[in-house]
Amino acid sequence: MTHSLKIVILGLSLSSSWGNGHATTFRALIKGLHALGHKVLFLERDVPWYAAHRDMPAPEFCELAYYSEIVDMIATYGARIRNAHAVIIGSYVPEGVDVIEAVRGLQPRCLAFYDIDTPVTLNHLARRDGDKDYIAATQIPLFDFYFSFSGGLLLRHIEKTYGARRAEALYCSVDSDLYCNTGEPLAWDLGYLGTYSPDRQPTLERLLIEPARRLPQKRFVVAGPQYPDDIVWPENVDRIEHLPPSEHASFYSRQRFTLNVTRADMIAAGWSPSVRLFEAAACGVPIISDRWPGLEELFPDEEAIVIADNADDVIAALSGVFDERRHAIAGEARRRVLAQHTGNARAAELIRAIETTKNQSAPALKTGTA
């Protein structure tokens, strides 16, 4: 039987989903940890762009605290970091290199890095000779675990090239209590939810905007912030600037198909399913996705997903090619996600890993006290 663990997470954001996919990933994982009886303190840098868009300022499933300076964070929470059963530092934490050094100086029992941007991180490290604001290459061997958003061969690369002690996949996950079909009437034939990214935009152009131009009788929608003003949207494409997680299930449920678009670094690495992919599947909407290595192992093509290489593939799907199998495809994707990719499932994976560390044989683990 697993005993209650005290876990401290320092992440990009838990309070605000604005312009990032980290918040919903952490929420599902931590809610899963809470359901398993574990206690989490989440430390978030107080920055104005998230402070202005907080859609979960006081979560019920963990303790959330903000800090302005690293020195103040260590002074206030240093004892809890030192005595926690595990401390996890996430990618894109502001001044992450300094945060890692400060936390490491407290000698926590188990120290892990959770990279929700693995291919981006590794490519940046390679280009900058190991210099990255939120982690340096020389820091990777310092962690007991390098938990990675990406799986596959990239894990062994992290170990061999950067000296990670243990690199393990910890995919994003979905809160199955929040993401399910709402039964609302369909409003759009194809939709997309995602913050603007220059390397995703060509795919969005190819797989949504071009089909919208060629199918003026169909309805499309793109939700997400930071899109440049100079993008020319066809008249049949609705724009939603920001959609809080509380509205995601409704958004997906009103689409006949939804589009998954993957960043270039993630495509090159493979085995990098986004949280949006799992959320859409949990809502029972059939997904059209760009192609990347490992996708068909998670969601077999035309069985649990529709893989599109060009606008013609999308137009065929929207024109009725999959109408007879649309619900079956969506149902199989949902079945797979609920079985393997919920926050509860991911939390159990994390705890199993933490409990294998040598330090966790200490009496404190057995009593559940810190």
Identify the pLDDT of residue 126.
87
Residues 6 or more apart whose Cβ sits within 8 Å of residue 112: 86, 87, 88, 89, 143, 144, 145, 146, 147, 354
Residue 265 and residue 356 share a domain: no
Residue 183 lies in a domain: no
Structural domains of the chain, count: 2
Identify the pLDDT of residue 80.
98
- HEC per residue, the chain: CCCCCEEEEEECCCCCCCCCCHHHHHHHHHHHHHHCCCEEEEEEECCHHHHCCCCCCCCCCCEEEEECCHHHHHHHHHHHHHHCCEEEEECCCCCHHHHHHHHHCCCCCCEEEEECCHHHHHHHHHHCCCCCCCCCHHHHHHCCEEEECCCCCHHHHHHHHHCCCCEEECCCCECCCCCCCCCCCCCEEEEEECCCCCCCHHHHHHHHHHHHHHCCCCCEEEECCCCCCCCCCCCCEEEECCCCHHHHHHHHHCEEEEEECCCHHHHHHCCCCCHHHHHHHHCCCCEEECCCCCHHHHCCECCCEEECCCHHHHHHHHHHHCCCCHHHHHHHHHHHHHHHCEHHHHHHHHHHHHCCCHHHHCHHHHHCCC
Q: Which is nearest to 314 in space by CA: 165, 194, 205? A: 205
Residue 257 and residue 199 share a domain: yes
Residue 157 lies in a domain: yes
Residue 30 and residue 156 share a domain: yes
Residue 320 lies in a domain: yes
| CA–CA gap between residue 31 and residue 14 (Å, rounded) | 11
Residue 147 and residue 132 share a domain: yes
Residue 180 lies in a domain: no
Residue 39 and residue 140 share a domain: yes
Residue 195 and residue 113 share a domain: no
pLDDT along the chain (370 residues), means of 10: 86 94 95 98 97 95 98 98 98 97 97 96 79 87 97 96 97 94 98 95 98 98 95 97 92 98 92 94 98 97 98 98 96 98 97 79 37
Residue 30 and residue 80 share a domain: yes
Q: What burial class does residue 279 get, using C-beta atoms within 10 Å of its C-beta: 0-12 exposed, 13-18 middle, 19+ buried?
A: buried
Instruction: Please give the residue range of the domain that contains residue 75.
Output: 6-173+343-367
Q: How far is CA 325 from CA 150, 322, 329, in A?
A: 30, 5, 6
Residue 51 lies in a domain: yes
Residue 164 lies in a domain: yes
Residue 11 lies in a domain: yes
Residue 182 lies in a domain: no
Which CATH number fits the domain that encloses residue 232?
A: 3.40.50.2000
199: left (phi over 0), alpha (psi -120 to 50) or beta: alpha
Residue 349 and residue 330 share a domain: no
Residue 231 and residue 109 share a domain: no
Residue 350 and residue 333 share a domain: no
Residue 350 and residue 336 share a domain: no
CA contacts within 13 A on the Cβ side of 140:
26
Identify the pLDDT of residue 85.
97
Identify the pLDDT of residue 2.
57
Residue 36 and residue 163 share a domain: yes
